[in-house]
Amino acid sequence: MPPDLGVADSGIVDGGTLIDAVPLLAAAQCAHDVRCAPASLAAFGMDEADCVALATESIGANLSAMNEGVAAGRVTFDPVGLVGCLDRLQNADCDLGLEPALSQCRAFLVGNRTNGQGCRIDHECQPTAYCETGASAEGCVWSPLFNQLVPFLCLNRANACGSCTPYAFRNAPCYSNQACAPDSVCRNIGTTQAPNFRCLPADLEVDEPCGPTIGRCRHFLQCVGPDGVGTCQRLARLDETCDNTGVTAPPCFGPLNLRCNEQVDICVQGPAIAAPGESCNASRVCPLQHGCSNGTCRPLPGVGQPCSSGQCGPGASCTNGVCTGPTPSGGNCDDWGRCEIGDGCRGPEGQQPMCAPLGWESCP
């Protein structure tokens, strides 16, 4: 039975604000991960409480910026839609995720700008439209969560104003994923020499045909068949037939710590994942960013320490042989994931982008 996340007692429907939604969304996201991706949490050395703390910080930074749009009248917060999102998160199928066509976890943020009106982000526009800025690089603010299902602030890196534009229909021409509806993806069904980009389905169900020129399977479903053309299938579970190449059978469901024994093509339980500070050996491995030292899982080098192995401990990455932390506000960046939580990598078109705090900036 799904956990009680306190929705009934939160008062969110009767006068709740977007900020009140943060702890509810964080709890729902992490309850989903505990149920559907426990190995992913363990691999990062996290339990549910750690996940909730991280999700609260990450979701909170995004919705705080979005709340400025609510105050400006550009976006409307719908508490009833939020309850629907939380219900979907609690009951989502681990393979299928949320229904892309319904976009239930975007529905509680309703854009008020009509087609042709100015915008800076998609959420300002009505559900059937996106914000067309003409910027060459788009991206969503980085999320450290593993199986992100709640909405994140999608910004144009050029920080440019645009206008609300209707999504392209299925099979209509497109030039980016953003131009297609949330249940579609922009793919080239032509050739390199004669490209033909079209909005293809991104929500194909079990047993439906799939492939590069047909469409993408929903969430974790795998397109099984030669050359990526076949039918959508659920990832294999314990003792089921598997194929890491996805040609004759689906791979195993990794978030449940299953691995394909390629000698017999059967899913088996992967090695146990020890928590930081616990004992480790060949059958009990350490989480990511930790190493087995004298039989104990210890953090890899931290910020400022050399990283001869190319690996660093939690919160750091190896840059030119030294472990570095996230880029602070005002620092140059070329990747959304290099900024601190609450910052985005942004800058005028043609100029070096920098990490900058999220904030609402209205366009005419």
Which of 358, 316, 355 has the alpha carbon at shortest distance from 332? Answer: 355
Instruction: Give residue 155's pLDDT.
Output: 60
Instruction: Give residue 136's pLDDT.
Output: 47
Q: How is 55-90 classified by DSSP, letter by letter? A: HHHHHHHHHHHHHHHHHTTSEEE-HHHHHHHHHHHH
Q: Are 211 and 225 a contacting pair, CB within 8 Å?
A: yes
Instruction: Give residue 148's pLDDT.
Output: 60
pLDDT per position as a tens digit, 269-309: 999 999 999 999 988 999 988 989 899 999 899 899 998 77
pLDDT per position as a tens digit, 77-90: 999 888 888 888 88
Is residue 38 helix, strand or coil? helix
Instruction: Give residue 130's pLDDT.
Output: 86
Instruction: Give residue 146's pLDDT.
Output: 55
Q: Is 227 exposed, middle or buried (0-12, 13-18, 19+ CB in 10 A)?
A: exposed
How is the chain split into domains, by residue range? 7-166, 235-298
Instruction: Give residue 160's pLDDT.
Output: 72
**pLDDT < 70: residue spans in the chain:** 1-11, 99-104, 135-159, 335-337, 349
Instruction: Give residue 123's pLDDT.
Output: 86
